[in-house]
Chain A
Amino acid sequence: MEISARQPLPATKKNHPAGGVLVVLGAIIGVMAVGGWKAFAAFGPEFLISAVWNPVTQHFGAAAPVFGTIVSSALALVVAVPLAFGTAFWLAALAPPAAAAFIGMAVQLLAAVPSIIFGMWGFFVVVPLIAHYVQPTARHLFGHVPGLSALVAGAPFGTGLFTASLILAIMITPSITAVMRDVFVSMPTVLRESAYGLGATRWEVMRNVVLPWSRQGVIGAVVLGMGRAMGETMAVTFVIGDSNHIGWSLFAPANTIASLIALEFPESPAGSLKLASLMALGAILMAISFLTLWFSRWLLARGQKAAGG
């Protein structure tokens, strides 16, 4: 199912399908943009930079959910990349074959769990842990350190950016792991064996031979994970805390574009300015995630081409 599972294609011609792609891309973004036109018309470019989301005064801006989307995905990567790399390293180099098959399957199953289940699990298992242990500990440790205290400020609700990032990290780890493992395994065995033959340890082989060789594929896998994280809806909706607010605190409630759409849509009558604003946010999310996914595919394809020689 993952990108690198595809067989290498016969030698490609040089022309890019960019023209046709842009048409399709434009059509989908276009439908969203048409829906959101009213919002763009009412607020102008200020829609993009305004952090206000106030249904009472009918004033809407995109900055807070865009901030939440980017920060939560970036934080999710900080957690997910080491986890995924460690697991892929284990699967590709350390695991006994029988265990590799079993654990590999467990990782795939984790990827198959529906996102609403992650949301419930996050809300009823992770949120209490954050509220009772993680945030109080973080405040105890960093609360009086200048510069860091702002990051841990706020009441310990348990919901917020940090919790959302944690759940997102767990959700994207399996797909990053799968692509990384495929990239590692697809490397010619003789390269790895030569390094082992010179007396290198497993870690040295990974660091000095496998990683440099598969760098583009690994980055592609990471960007793909980022693309997935940005559009994730249900899991985030449960744990993000629903607040349109930009701040320094990692533990403060926030919103992502996707969670805001899911939460506010039921209270947005057809034809209202609010619905138009949600559509406009959808267009923005579409644009961001398509660009990210496009970039990751480009990296993965380049990595594959390098692999094919």
Chain B
Amino acid sequence: MSRSLLRSDRSASLLWRRKLADRMATGLSWLAMLIVVCVLGSILWTLFKNGLAGLSVNLFTHSMAAPGQNGGLANAIMGSILQTGLAILLGTPAGLLTGIYLAEYGANSVLARTVRFVSDMLLSAPSILIGLFIYMVLVAPLGHFSGYAGSLALAILAMPIVVRTTEDMLYLVPVAMREAGIALGAPKWRVILFICLRAARGGILTGVLLAVARVAGETAPLLFTSLGNSEWSVDMDRPMASLPVAIYQYAGSAYQDWMQQAWTGALLVTLGVLVVNIVVRVGTRGGRT
């Protein structure tokens, strides 16, 4: 009698302890999630609070100027668009072809696995080193900073993203569709070009857009390649301004109006990057496996 009482007592206490451990673990897990969400909220709130006040037509029509000269960010915005655009034009075809090779031809050969490995390394490699690399092989030998060099550095950053999504999306194309093409007598290149790529089009576009979002906010590689420029310039062979570099220059300054423009520029960059991300992720959520 007393024995069984003791045992039920012990098991009740064990159950209580297990429940307590579960409560504590799940509570801490909720806390961690809330911290992460709050940080994102705090960043967005800070940007809106400080950045909204500086939004004006002037910002988009005037180039950077000395403090107090009523300058804008027009040349930086243009420079960012030009350099990001050229980077995507360079990086997308290279990434697309590499991705097709990996998914359709290379499969598991030594070369394919090496390329896959290097591409994954580049995906996480420090972007500042990509900038230094371009400085060494392009800027130093030519003797001047240029928008081309900046674009090339950004293209190297964009490429592995396109490689990864292209490869992943081609894997998702059903085998039956390829077989249907082959059964009709189509050569492999036609099957890839007109069946697989077409089926994977949406996913590949996602990768390109993610690459745009990634490189548009990059600062470190541009410091050593396109350098920045306070004048209006669309000549890609000369030093070129960009929004992130302009933010970096202005945010470290002591002038009220430069600080204001840095915040507004930061708001613009962040909103652009986040909107692209939201559109891409909401748009493809149904198609993901």
A contact residues vs B (CB 8 Å cutoff) = 1, 3, 5-7, 9-10, 12-13, 15, 17, 20-21, 24, 28, 31-32, 34-35, 82-87, 89-91, 94-95, 101, 103, 105-110, 112-121, 123-125, 170, 173-174, 177, 201-204, 206-207, 224, 227-228, 230-234, 238, 258, 261-262, 265-266, 270, 278-279, 282, 285-286, 289-290, 293-294, 297
Contact = CB atoms under 8 A, between A and B. Distances in A.
6 smallest CB-CB distances across A and B, nearest first, come from A231-B126, A86-B32, A114-B217, A201-B22, A203-B25, A17-B114
Contacts of A270: 140
B244 interface: yes
A265 B224 contact: yes
Nearest to B247: A116
Contacts of B263: 120
Interface in B94-114: 107-108, 110-111, 113-114
Most buried by B among A13, A83, A87, A114: A114
A83 B36 contact: yes
Given A24-B114, A115-B219, A262-B128, 10 more contacts: A91-B33, A103-B33, A114-B216, A114-B270, A115-B217, A116-B217, A125-B46, A201-B21, A202-B25, A224-B124
Nearest to A31: B136
A32 B133 contact: yes
Contacts of B167: 6
A91 B33 CA distance: 8
A204 B29 contact: no
B188 interface: no
Interface string B222-252: 0110000000000000000000100110010
Interface in B5-49: 18-19, 21-22, 24-26, 28-33, 35-37, 39-40, 42-43, 46-47
Contacts of B281: 105, 108
Contacts of B87: none
A3 to B, nearest CB: 7
Contacts of A206: 25
Given A6-B168, A85-B32, A202-B26, A233 B273 contact: no
A224 B123 CA distance: 11
Given A1-B210, A12-B108, A203-B21, A261 B128 contact: yes
Interface in B52-105: none
B277 A112 contact: yes
A5 B47 contact: no
B154 interface: no
B274 A201 contact: no
Contacts of A109: 40, 274, 277-278
Interface residues of B, number: 77
Nearest to B285: A101
Interface in B110-133: 110-111, 113-114, 117-118, 120-121, 124-129, 132-133
A12 B106 CA distance: 13
A89 B282 CA distance: 23
Contacts of B33: 86-87, 90-91, 95, 103
Nearest to A238: B251
B248 A234 contact: yes
B244 to A, nearest CB: 5
Given A9-B108, A262-B220, A120 B32 contact: no
Contact of A1 (B28, B117, B161, B224): B161
A258 B117 contact: no
A299 to B, nearest CB: 13
9 contacts: A3-B120, A21-B118, A86-B32, A112-B214, A113-B273, A114-B216, A120-B263, A231-B128, A258-B128
Given A21-B117, A90-B33, A94-B30, A117 B269 contact: yes
Nearest to A229: B126
B262 interface: yes
A12 B172 CA distance: 19
A221 to B, nearest CB: 12
B120 A117 contact: no
B126 A232 contact: yes
A20 B282 CA distance: 39
A201 B23 CA distance: 9
Nearest to A175: B124
B213 interface: yes
Contacts of B124: 224, 227-228, 231, 289, 293
Nearest to B39: A170
Given A90-B33, A234-B248, A289-B126, A112 B274 contact: yes
A266 B153 CA distance: 18
A133 B137 CA distance: 47
